[in-house]
Amino acid sequence: MEANKQIIEQVKFNLWANKRVVAWLNDNDETLITKESRSSFPSIIKTVDHIFEGEAVYLGILTGIPNQNPKPESIQDSYANLLAQSTAFVSYAEGQSHFNELLEIDSKYLKGSFAGHELIQHCMNHSTYHRGQLVTLGHQLGLTKAPSTDMLFYLSKKVGR
C-alpha cells in the first residue's frame, strides 16, 4: 500500500507543480510565451503542449482510452489542457487499488511490457524534465520570479511537515 501512496503523491505533486508554472507563465507577456527560442521545443507554449501530450499519451495507455482533447487554439487553451490532464491523472491514480498490472506498449517510440507504476513514474519524470526547460526558456527570454517546483518544496508545504 505504501507504494500506491507514493505514486498518488507523485501525481499530486505533478498537478501542484504544473499549476505553479502555469500561474507564473500567465503573469508574463504572451508574446514571450510564443517567441521562438533554442531548446528541445521552439517556444515556451510548444513545451507546455508537449508536457500535456506526454501526460495524455500515458494516461491513455493506463486507462485504455486515447486522448480526445482538441488541439489548443490559444495559450489559455494550452494551459487549461495541461491542468485538466494533470487533474485527470490524479483522479485516475486515486481510483486505483494497485499499479502493478503489466501493460503492453507497441508504438513507434516504445515497445515492451511495463507496470502501471513504471509508466506513471516515467510520465511524471518527463513532465518534471520539461518544466525545467520552461524555466530555462523563461530565463532566456527575460521572465523572472519562476516558482519553485521541487518535490521537497511541495512536501514541505503540506500540513504537518
C-alpha cell at 117: 507504476
Contact 32, 142 (CB under 8 A): yes
Q: Is residue 126 annotated as involved in ligand binding? A: yes
Q: Is residue 117 annotated as involved in ligand binding? A: no
Least Cα distance to 49 among 91, 90, 18, 93 occurs for 18
What single string gives the DSSP state of each residue in 63-103?
Answer: HS----PPPPSSHHHHHHHHHHHHHHHHHHHHT-S-S--EE
Q: Is residue 50 annotated as involved in ligand binding? A: yes
* Residues contributing to the annotated binding site for a divalent metal cation: 50, 126, 130
* Residues contributing to the annotated binding site: 50, 126, 130
